Amino acid sequence: MENKNRVRFAPSPTGSMHIGNVRNALYDFLFAKKNNGEFLLRIEDTDQDRYAPGSIEQIYEVLKWLGLDWHGEPIIQSTRLELYKKNAEELVKNGHAYYCFCSKERLEEVRKDQEAKKLPSCYDRHCRNLSEEEIANNLESRTPFVIRLKVPESGIIEFEDVIKGKVSFDLKTIDDQVLLKSDGFPTYHLASVTDDNEMKISHVIRSEEWLPSTPKHLLLYKFFGWEPPRFVHLPMILGSDKSKLSKRHGATSVAEFKEQGYLPEALINFIAFLGWNPGDEREIFSLDELVDAFSLDKVHKAPAVFNMEKLDWLNGHYIRQKSLDELARLCLPYLEKAKLIKPTGEDYNLIDNNETVNLDYIKSAIALEQERMKKLSEVADLTKFFFQNELDYPAELLIWKKSNLEEAAVNLKALNEFLSGLTEANFTKEILETKVKQFIQTEQKGIGDFLWPLRVALTGEKASPGPFEVAHVLGQEKTLKRINDAINKIKKNA
RNA sequence: GGUCCCUUCGUCUAAUGGUUAGGACAUUAGGUUUUCAUCCUGAAAAUAGGGGUUCGAUUCCCCUAGGGACUACCA
């Protein structure tokens, strides 16, 4: 019980959840579940200026959507200001931190000066040795102040990162970090160390950008007399040009991916493999399977480039795995958004001609495109011909290979006649295929001479599902109408 | 500039001293097919460079180069 593994995902509510956040959360989750530990959530809202309204709710929503359920109530840092303040003052009392009354202007000047002299920029420790009287006076006159960490003058601080291995820093290069800001809020450093201790976090799993501030955190643990956790610095995720993944690389927020129709399964599977793999050749993993296979010692040191093509492939894979009911449920909003259908009671109206269709019709249409979809958002474009009354395509599209419009018209007429002679009951994919192919044989022509124009007449597309399955979904009446429409289109064109 | 981290096909990665350097995505050639997609088969494609250590280095060490992060009263 004492040594239970506890990890936390600690985002700050300053914007939308992005891929990097999700990777951190995912590895936290996998590590906790794999090792019978707890996955906790903490909201690091200690920057009043950067707080983005709604982003806390979005964090919850995204984690739930991805299936990364956390344990217990989230810790909200802004509700714990007293604790941080108390800890900062304790450090001052023990001589490990000090009041600093420097103005922002002065700090700015110091920085500029150091830059001009090509010196490493850090606080010049102006207030580090203020007399008690000076401090008392400043406090008395209500001069704004911060509390800074008193970094020892010399020494080496070394630690064993779970992923990077041994890392060491010379204390001489470390700045006297601000711990408590003049607005009374803690900085990340104070707040996260305080809370990680309070929450009994065993492994701090976070992005590599935190590696350089880890010695400050270690100092804090030492000065507080607390046992430090293990540090686990995850490699970064890069964009296609190998710079830190950002907006200009396209979608990076989870909300955008969701909107484009990426499935949580695909996102999880893909992101898990950015910097980790199970060590064998399997590629497809559910969240549960990831938990089972996960281990921190298989996490890489090197950063990984976010490769959208592979995500698309995975997403297509997961779409193909979906049951039709589930897929239809996911696709419906996209069809409505594209103004193809609108719900009316239990059924749906086609916006094009106000015809009423039922859910089964929509499902049949979606079923035919399931293996072609890479993202849910593509469903509207892929299935639109099932919901439109008049198809908009050039007559020339009806021409098969080296054939011509006249022949297309002749063949379509023959098909129309033949199909008119069938009963509605014959309009299944299998029966149609058998019968139409028999019919084509008697015509002494190539199969494409009939099937290509038929398919185009039914779909208006140069690429689509086959004509028999489309005709089945459309039904005899619409099928015949579309063939007629095509013939008329050719006539008009002539 | 300073500190720290990193380096296997285009990309994600396997192989921790001995392999024809393996797989996946993407690319590409075929097959199936009325088109597209799916599916199947094949091809091309990598150990950043230089030194060591070793009988033997992708693997261990050093240097160089390149990339990245940090360098805020942001996280």
ipTM over 0.90: yes
Q: Which of A255, A279, A309 is the last residue of a domain?
A: A309
In a domain, A157, yes or no: yes
Tally: H helices and E strands in chain A: 19, 15
- Same domain membership, residue A477 and residue A401: yes
Give the nucleotide with minimal C1' distance to the Cα of A241: B67
- Same domain membership, residue A115 and residue A25: no
- Name, in order, each residue with C-beta under 8 angstroms of A119's C-beta and a sequence gap of 6 or more: none
> Per-residue pLDDT for A1 more than 70?
no
Residue type, A21: N
How far apart are the C-alpha atoms of A288 and A276, rounded to whole Å? Answer: 16
Average pLDDT over every residue of A109-127: 90
Q: What residues of A are annotated to the active site?
A: 247
- Same domain membership, residue A415 and residue A357: no
> Per-residue pLDDT for A171 more than 80?
yes
In a domain, A232, yes or no: no
Range(s) of the domain holding residue A370: 323-386
In a domain, A213, yes or no: no
How far apart are the C-alpha atoms of A471 and A481, rounded to whole Å? Answer: 11
Q: Which of A256, A283, A309 is the last residue of a domain?
A: A309
pLDDT, one tens digit per residue, over A368-377 is: 999 999 999 9
> Per-residue pLDDT for A494 more than 80?
no
Does any strand B atom come closer than 7 Å to the Cβ of A310?
yes
> Per-residue pLDDT for A78 more than 60?
yes
- Same domain membership, residue A471 and residue A428: yes
Does any strand B atom come closer than 7 Å to the Cβ of A144?
yes
CB A42 within 8 A of CB A75: yes
Helix axes A188-198, A81-93, angle to 10 degrees: 100
Contact positions of strand B to protein Cβ (< 7 A): 1-8, 10-16, 22-26, 33-39, 67-75
- Same domain membership, residue A417 and residue A330: no
Give the nucleotide with minimal C1' distance to the Cα of A447: B34
- Same domain membership, residue A86 and residue A41: no
- How many residues comprise chain A? 494
Does any strand B atom come closer than 7 Å to the Cβ of A468?
yes
In a domain, A231, yes or no: no
In a domain, A242, yes or no: yes
Give the model's pLDDT for residue A248: 76
Lowest mean pLDDT among A186-190, A248-252, A391-395: A248-252
Does any strand B atom come closer than 7 Å to the Cβ of A44?
yes
- List phi, psi (to 5°) of A263: -90, 145
Between the alpha carbon of residue A66 and those of residues A283, A299, A393, the distances in Å are 19, 21, 41
Which DSSP category does A357 fall into? E
Average pLDDT over every residue of A286-310: 95
- Same domain membership, residue A479 and residue A411: yes
- Same domain membership, residue A369 and residue A293: no
Between the alpha carbon of residue A207 and those of residues A10, A20, A444, the distances in Å are 11, 8, 68
- Same domain membership, residue A86 and residue A66: no
Give the model's pLDDT for residue A116: 86
pLDDT, one tens digit per residue, over A260-272 is: 999 999 999 999 9
- Same domain membership, residue A434 and residue A372: no
In a domain, A208, yes or no: no
- Name, in order, each residue with C-beta under 8 angstroms of A419's C-beta and a sequence gap of 6 or more: A436, A471, A476, A479, A480, A483
Residue type, A7: V
Average pLDDT over every residue of A90-117: 94
Q: Which of A249, A280, A309 is the last residue of a domain?
A: A309
Q: Which helix (H) or strand (E) holds A178?
A: strand A178-180
Of A residues 367-386, those with CB within 7 angstroms of nucleic strand B are 371-372
In a domain, A230, yes or no: no
Tell me how many domains chain A contains: 4
Q: How far is the CA of A210 from the C1' of B73 (A)?
A: 19
CATH number at residue A149: 3.90.800.10
Question: What is the percent of chain A with per-residue pLDDT over 90, rounded to a whole number?
Answer: 92
- Same domain membership, residue A154 and residue A63: no
Q: How far is the CA of A39 from the C1' of B16 (A)?
A: 32
CATH number at residue A415: 1.10.10.350
How far apart are the C-alpha atoms of A210 and A220, rounded to whole Å? Answer: 15
Q: How far is the CA of A286 from the C1' of B48 (A)?
A: 36
Does any strand B atom come closer than 7 Å to the Cβ of A160?
no
Q: How much is the mean pLDDT over chain A?
A: 95
Give the model's pLDDT for residue A2: 55
Average pLDDT over every residue of A194-211: 97
Which DSSP category does A399 fall into? -
- Same domain membership, residue A99 and residue A65: no
In a domain, A205, yes or no: no
Average pLDDT over every residue of A253-278: 96
